[in-house]
Structure 1
Amino acid sequence: MTQLSKYEAMIVKSGSKLTKQRKQILKVIVDHSDEHFSAETLYDLVRHIDSSIGIATVYRTLELFEKLKIIRNVKIKNDGVNYYDVIDLDEQNHFHHHLICTTCNRIIEIADELESYEAFIKEKYGFNVTDHDLTLYGTCASCQ
């Protein structure tokens, strides 16, 4: 079963309709799963496939997909724009983090090296970490 068909099954299982527009938006999201996207970026990509899809449909679909845990809102820039990325169903509980170059705005994803620190927090404070965001700002190797 492909990732796309798994996401489609999640939509149907939730009781939501798998409309033509949702399928098209989902396909674009999956095809660009290695990127972070805003609603406007997604809209620009989708309207090349189907110009009848409106920006409101994209926003509503993103809201549904976030609720179904197909995508997640990631805080990667302080520009007032919501960015999203796809949740890999094989690694649903895996957190990843971002390095953002303040010179070229390149976004580099890094794997979760904080798992041992989360275990330390659990042991020392009795606190179970269920979610977190980490974004580090600096200068990438290319811009140095």
Structure 2
Amino acid sequence: MEARIEKVKQQLQAQGYKLTPQREATVRVLLENEEDHLSAEDVFMLVKEIAPEIGLATVYRTLELLSEMHIVEKLNFGDGVARYDLRAETNKHHHHHLICVQCGSMSEIMDDWLTPLEERLEKEYGFTVLDHRLDFQGICAKCNEKLKEQEAGGSSEDKVSSEV
């Protein structure tokens, strides 16, 4: 974790910013909760545990700065809440998401399946893709299973009621 914080510090310094204690606390919370896609309010509540003096506006400003510098990705999954996700150092591109429209769960796809498309765009259109994000909206495995159970249960009830 310390190496990643140092990397963020260097990225900030390269743009003329400092890694203030408030910014460091925010980055630590994002690192500790990397898989959770936290909202600004979520980050604020967790940062307050580390730095009780920090204000919500400071957390918002820090998240916006980190987003502008492409240290974090600002995500919107259609629920009206901006969420923040640290960009992995090893990924050229951001990962992709599977978003369940039933329960709101999110899963990540770490593989970059769009590399062949990017290469084609470069070759055919002379367009160099710097980044992309792909979100799939649908129904997760758990919700699909529940739907199947409901359909199976509902069809047997229909048979009983039609027999009566």
Q: TM-score, normalised to structure 1's length?
A: 0.87
Q: Is the 8 A contact 2:66 2:72 kept in 1?
A: yes
Residue 18 of structure 2 corresponds to residue 17 of structure 1: yes
Q: Distance in 1 between matches of 2:19 and 2:13?
A: 6
RMSD: 1.7
Query: Match for residue 4 of structure 1?
Result: 5
Superposition map of 1:1-144 within 5 A: 2-75=3-76, 77-91=77-91, 93-110=92-109, 111-144=111-144
Q: 2:112 & 2:75 partners in 1: Cα distance?
A: 15
- Quick one: distance in 2 between partners of 1:115 and 1:134? 12
**Which ranges of 4 or more aligned residues in structure 1 deviate by more than 3 Å?**
none
The change in CA–CA distance for 1:18 and 1:140 in structure 2 (over 3 A counts) is: same
- Quote the offset at 1:47 in angstroms: 1.2
Report deviation, 1:27: 0.9
TM superposition shift of 1:20: 1.4
Q: Are the aligned partners of 1:74 and 1:133 in contact in 2 as well (CA < 8 Å)? A: no
**Alignment partners' CA distance in 2, 1:88 and 1:49:** 24
Per-residue deviation, 1:112? 1.5
Shift of 1:58: 0.3
Aligned partners of 2:16, 2:127: CA distance in 1, in Å? 35
Larger CA deviation: 126-135 vs 102-111: 126-135
Cα shift at 1:124: 2.6
Deviations 1:24-54 (A, max 9, x none): 1111111112221211111111112222111
In terms of Rg, which structure is larger?
A: 2
The unaligned stretches of length 5 or more in structure 2 are 145-164
Structure 1 distance, partners of 2:36, 2:48, is 18
Partner AA of 1:63 in structure 2: E
The 8 Å contact of residues 87 and 94 in structure 2, kept in 1 or not, is answered as: no
Aligned partner of 2:122: which letter?
Answer: K
In structure 1, distance between residues paired with 2:81 and 2:112:
24
Write the distance in 1 (CA, Å) between the matches of 2:7 and 2:127: 33
1: CA distance, partners of 2:97 / 2:104: 11
Give unmatched runs, 5+ long, in structure 1. Answer: none
Question: What is the CA distance between 1:79 and its match in structure 2?
Answer: 2.1
